[in-house]
């Protein structure tokens, strides 16, 4: 009944400290889901966003559940210009990570549903967040661009894209 192993690494990029952007292009449509793991981000960065297929229009929205170590809260942002994947770190120095799941990313009929978990635990910012997002496009996702906004990703920050193929 099982169809064999899946959950395969597609590509990994390690930042060199000279760019605010990492992009995965020409993503194969042969998987069912994609998983993007961002780790070892220690730069003093602003919010990290993702744009899909180079779409910078106001076609993204999100709902956030979060805690800061003492208070739990939620928030909602409509008509945004990027998917939010990592909270700003106002101090830097401690690793920040996020995992973003793109389910059914290659179909051409549904808006794309995305789920992110991220954590920031530095002297400047403490946050654990769960984020449900949507990209209001029925296009298959073929590129993922991660943008740090105001500062270069530090050398050693890693960005790994995995594919999961359903039976």
Partner 1 sequence: MPILGTVASQFSGKPSNSFESIATVTVGAGGQSTITFSSIPQTFMHLQIRGILQGSRPGPVPSGYAALRFNSDTTSNYIDHILGSSINDSPPRAYAATEGLGTFLYLSGIPGVAAAPFFSIFITEILDYCSTNKNKVLRTVEGIETNANTINGYNASSVSFKSGLWMNSANAITSITIEALGTSSPFKQYSQLALYGIKGA
Minimum CB–partner distance for residue 161 and partner 1 (Å): 10
DSSP assigned state of 105: T
Q: Does residue 6 interact with partner 1 by CB under 8 A?
A: yes
Q: Does residue 10 interact with partner 1 by CB under 8 A?
A: no
- Contacting residue, 20, 23, 47, 99, with partner 1 by CB under 8 A: 99
DSSP assigned state of 153: P
How far is the C-alpha of 53 from the C-alpha of 84, rounded, in Å?
A: 15
Q: Which positions from 48 through 77 interact with partner 1, judged by CB under 8 A?
A: 61-67, 72-76
Q: Listing from the earlier edge strand, what are the strands of the sheet with 72-80?
A: 8-14, 158-164, 33-41, 96-103, 112-121, 126-135, 60-67, 72-80
Number of Cβ within a 10 Å radius of residue 41: 25
Q: Which positions from 23 through 52 interact with partner 1, judged by CB under 8 A?
A: 32-33, 35, 37, 39
The answer to whether 38 and 79 are in contact (CB under 8 A) is no
Size of the residue set binding partner 1 (CB under 8 A): 56
Which residues sit at the interface with partner 1, rule CB under 8 A?
Answer: 1-9, 12, 32-33, 35, 37, 39, 61-67, 72-76, 78-79, 97, 99, 101, 103-104, 107, 109-111, 113-115, 117, 130-134, 136, 138, 158, 160, 162, 164-167
């Amino acid at each position: 009944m099982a169809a064999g192993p899946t959950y395969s690494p597609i590509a990994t990029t390690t930042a060199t400290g000279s760019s605010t952007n990492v992009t995965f292009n020409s993503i194969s449509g042969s998987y069912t889901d994609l998983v993007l793991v961002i780790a070892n981000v220690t730069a003093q960065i602003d919010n990290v966003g993702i744009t899909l297929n180079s779409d910078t229009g106001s076609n993204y929205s999100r709902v956030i559940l979060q805690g800061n170590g003492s208070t739990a809260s939620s928030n909602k942002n409509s008509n945004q210009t990027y998917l939010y994947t990592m909270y700003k770190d106002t101090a830097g120095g401690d690793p920040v990570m996020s995992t973003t799941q793109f389910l059914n990313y290659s179909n051409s009929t549904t808006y794309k549903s995305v789920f992110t978990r991220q954590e920031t635990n530095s002297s400047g910012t403490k946050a654990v967040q769960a984020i449900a997002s949507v990209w209001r496009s029925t296009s298959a996702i073929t590129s993922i661009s991660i943008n740090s906004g105001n500062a270069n990703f530090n050398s050693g920050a890693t960005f790994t894209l995995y594919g999961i193929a359903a039976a």
